[in-house]
Amino acid sequence: MRKQNKTSQQLQSTTGSGPEVDKSTAEPAMPQTPSLGTPGDLTELTSEIKLLRGDMSNLRNQLSSALDSLAKCQTRMDEINGKLADTERRLQALEDQQSQNVRIKATLQDLENKYNMQAQLALRNEIEIIGCPEIKNENLHHTTMAIATKIGISVSELDIDFVSRVGPIRKQSSNESSQAPRPVIVRFARRKVRDDFLVKSKTRRNLDTADIITECTPQKLYINERLTYENRLLFRRTRERAGQANFKYCWTRSGFIYTRKRDGAEAIKITSYDCIDRVFGSPQQPELASKGCPDV
């Protein structure tokens, strides 16, 4: 009987059917090591790491190249900014030079106008006779006094300071009648004599050389006050434009040029080519206005 009980106890101990053990007092379980996978997975992971390192190296090279390019761009921008600053300085210098040139041009124009006025003032005692035929061994003093007698004014040799023809001597030709004679310039000793000579000559509209020069057929004479070269050109242009604009009168007095559109209208003084455009309008535009121009 004892032998059976002992045997049953041994069976219970071997079969684990004894009393339960308290889990709270049991030892903790050890963590399980994760599986590293197969050798193929490790090879793929290594390849991906190598590719990632290559991409990072390329990115690093590209970044370095971009930084170099940016540095070059910065250097280029600095050069461009320097050139722009230099260009601005040059433009400013050119603008200053242009302003100075405008002032110099205005000063030169003012000096030319003053010189022309002085030159015209020096001609205040002179007249110009146009159309007087040239003959051999002519006596221009006698011709001038004969013209004075014909227009009704008494002029002596003492009243004539100087008389001569102006312009290059023309060559003799078989058809001399086709050549216009050179103008005769007369300088009087007193301005009053010159003014009286001009006034009387204007009353003889059909003045010619009849009874004055008998060696040739009568020629029509024109007597005007003498003008400087610049004023002659200005007077010629004024007459042309006055005719185009249907202005009735254009004349000179005391070296100045005047024009009038119609009888009773105000006389307009012409002092420059700009003044011509202001009075008559540009050739492509109609007449602007009959306003006077500033005195020179």
Give the model confidence (pLDDT) of 167-224 as tens digits. Answer: 888 765 555 556 789 999 999 999 999 999 999 998 887 899 888 888 888 889 999 9
Furthest-apart CA atoms within the chain: distance in Å: 201
What is the predicted pLDDT for the residue at 35?
52
Give the pairing type, strands 126-130 and 268-270: unpaired
Q: What pLDDT is attached to residue 190? A: 94
Query: What pTM value is reported for the model?
Result: 0.63
Looking at the predicted structure, is the pLDDT value of residue 267 above 90?
yes
Q: What is the pLDDT of residue 15?
A: 46
CA dihedral 268, 272, 274, 275 (to 10 degrees): -10
295 pLDDT above the threshold of 60: no
Q: What is the pLDDT of residues 223-241, one digit of tens each?
A: 999 999 999 999 999 999 9
Look over the chain and give the mean of its residue pLDDT values, rounded to a whole number: 83
Q: Indicate the CATH number of 124-169+179-225 among 3.20.80.10, 3.30.2270.10, 3.20.20.140, 3.30.70.1820.
A: 3.30.70.1820
